Every structure is written in C-alpha cells, then in structure tokens.
C-alpha cells in the first residue's frame, strides 16, 4: 500500500516509525512518502500561505504551491486523493476497510485556515474528518488514517486480530485478560482457564453483546 502525504510538517510523521506501523514499513507492506509542500514554493522566502481574500483571520495555503507539490507525485492518476478536513465525512471502520483496498492514497494535510478552495476542487476526491472538532493541522488526522488503514493491509496484522476487534462485526470486542491469574484479589473468569474452546467462544459472544448494549447501544440498531 502506498501513502503519499502532502504536508508542511513532514517531521511530525516520525512517530510512524514505531511499533506495528514501523514494522510494516520495514517489511515493505506499506510505503509512506512524505512530500514537503514548502519545497514547491517559488517565492524567495519560501512562502506557502497568504492572507484571505475578503479579509478575516489567519492565513490560507496557496493553491499554486499545493498544486505543484501534487503534480510532482508519480502514478497519481490511479490514486485516490484525500483531503483531511473537519468538513469531511467522519472516519469510521467501514471507510477504513474500504480505503485499505485502494492500493495508493494521496493524503493532503491543511494548516492555518486551510487551503485555497480552487486547488481542492481540482485535485481532491474525498474529504475525511476524524471528528467534530478543529485541529491546528491535517497531520495528526493523516496519521490516524494511515494507522487505521494499514492495519487492514495484508500481512500487517494477524487476520484474527482485525476480524475479532471492535466494530468488525458491528459490535465491540469482548474483555481481554492475561497473566497473572489473580490481580489485586480479582480472578480471571474461570471459563477462560477451562480450555473448552466452544464454551469460551460462547462466553465471548455473550460478553460482546452485553458490552455493546452497555457502551454503544447505537451499534446494535
């Protein structure tokens, strides 16, 4: 899976070198290319933003600079271009699975007051939000997208992990326990120590329904 990220702050993405995503990069199951939009400024001060037409607070990222950064990408014709934006559709597991089948995503990160509408209209296929709140930039949302989508890329995780997890079958996951058998006087449920896989499966299903009803009844509707 190829992720091309257009950003003014590529250094922020160093956290993706850690843990499971870091390993997926090393194993070449995913490839993340970071493109610094500032490199495409033709201004002698490397200017990438300007004041908004019509007045108002803040700065707007310039369309020509963003467009040049986009045009520098290879194989962009078959890629889906996503603009991380609080105005987009809120990301959920269904969308994550859908995007994991894409093969090549170009992710555009805004900053300041956002990006000039003309270049968005020209290159963006879809706007995605990570929730109804406003962040300072699209970098954290882009990392959320890359992390969640990568988990569904073949080989990144054990198949059972993604299939049994919260939201995968419209429900939350059952509770998990590990050693020690007793912690602060609280024992692991006996059924999990029984070795009876059929009964364990049944117990987990019951717990899934119970937990979903309690925490997210909306998912059961």
Ligand X SMILES: C[S@@+](CC[C@H](N)C(=O)[O-])C[C@H]1O[C@@H](n2cnc3c(N)ncnc32)[C@H](O)[C@@H]1O
Give the range of 70-78, 81-89, 147-155, 194-202 binding ligand X by CB under 6 A: 81-89
Quick one: which of 87, 92, 161, 196 contacts ligand X (CB under 6 A)? Answer: 87
Quick one: which of 134, 178, 182, 184 contacts ligand X (CB under 6 A)? Answer: 134
Minimum distance, C-beta of residue 8 to ligand X, in the bound complex (Å): 10
List Cβ neighbours of 13 (8 Å cut-off, separation of 6 or more): 5, 7, 32, 34, 139, 142, 143
- The answer to whether 70 and 125 have CB atoms below 8 angstroms apart is no
Quick one: which of 64, 102, 113, 164 contacts ligand X (CB under 6 A)? Answer: 113
Check residue 135 for interaction with ligand X (CB under 6 A): yes
Near ligand X in 11-70, by CB under 6 A: none
In the complex, which residue's CB is closest to ligand X? 110
Check residue 110 for interaction with ligand X (CB under 6 A): yes
Q: For residue 130, which phi and psi values (nearest 5 degrees)?
A: -105, 10
Quick one: which of 133, 159, 160, 185 contacts ligand X (CB under 6 A)? Answer: 133
Check residue 10 for interaction with ligand X (CB under 6 A): no
Check residue 111 for interaction with ligand X (CB under 6 A): yes
Check residue 123 for interaction with ligand X (CB under 6 A): no
How far is the C-alpha of 194 from the C-alpha of 172, rounded, in Å?
Answer: 24
Task: Give the strand pairing for 182-183 and 126-129.
Answer: unpaired
**Long-range contact pairs involving 18-22 (C-beta distance under 8 Å, separation at least 24):** 20/150, 20/151, 20/156, 20/157, 21/146, 21/147, 21/150
- The answer to whether 191 and 203 have CB atoms below 8 angstroms apart is yes
Give the range of 20-28, 97-105, 106-114, 195-203 binding ligand X by CB under 6 A: 106-114
Quickly count: other Cβ atoms within 10 Å of residue 153's Cβ.
Answer: 15
Strands in the chain per DSSP E:
2-7, 31-36, 49-50, 60-61, 80-90, 104-109, 126-129, 182-183, 186-187
> DSSP secondary-structure letter at 190?
G
Minimum distance, C-beta of residue 123 to ligand X, in the bound complex (Å): 14
Quick one: which of 7, 85, 100, 148 contacts ligand X (CB under 6 A)? Answer: 85
Quick one: which of 7, 41, 100, 129 contacts ligand X (CB under 6 A)? Answer: 129
Interface ranges with ligand X (CB under 6 A): 84-87, 109-111, 113-115, 129-131, 133-138, 141
């Amino acid at each position: 899976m190829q992720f091309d990220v257009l950003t003014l702050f590529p250094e922020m993405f160093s956290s993706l070198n850690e843990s499971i995503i870091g390993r997926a990069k090393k194993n070449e199951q995913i490839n993340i290319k970071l493109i610094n939009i500032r490199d495409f400024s033709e201004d002698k001060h490397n200017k990438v933003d300007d004041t908004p037409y019509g007045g108002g607070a803040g700065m707007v990222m310039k369309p020509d600079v963003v467009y040049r950064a986009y045009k520098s990408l290879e194989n962009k014709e078959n890629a889906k271009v996503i603009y991380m934006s609080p105005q987009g559709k809120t990301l959920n597991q269904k969308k994550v699975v859908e995007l994991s089948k894409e093969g090549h995503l170009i992710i555009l990160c805004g900053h300041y007051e956002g990006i000039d509408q003309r270049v968005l209209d020209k290159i963006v296929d879809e706007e995605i939000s990570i929730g109804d709140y406003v962040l300072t930039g699209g970098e954290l949302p882009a990392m959320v997208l890359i992390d969640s989508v990568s988990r569904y890329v073949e080989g990144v995780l054990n198949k059972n992990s993604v299939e049994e997890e919260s939201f995968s079958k419209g429900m939350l996951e059952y509770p998990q326990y590990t050693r020690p058998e007793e912690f602060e006087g609280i024992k692991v449920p006996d059924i999990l120590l029984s070795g009876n896989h059929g009964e364990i499966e049944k117990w987990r299903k019951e717990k899934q329904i119970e937990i979903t009803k309690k925490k997210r009844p909306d998912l059961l509707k």
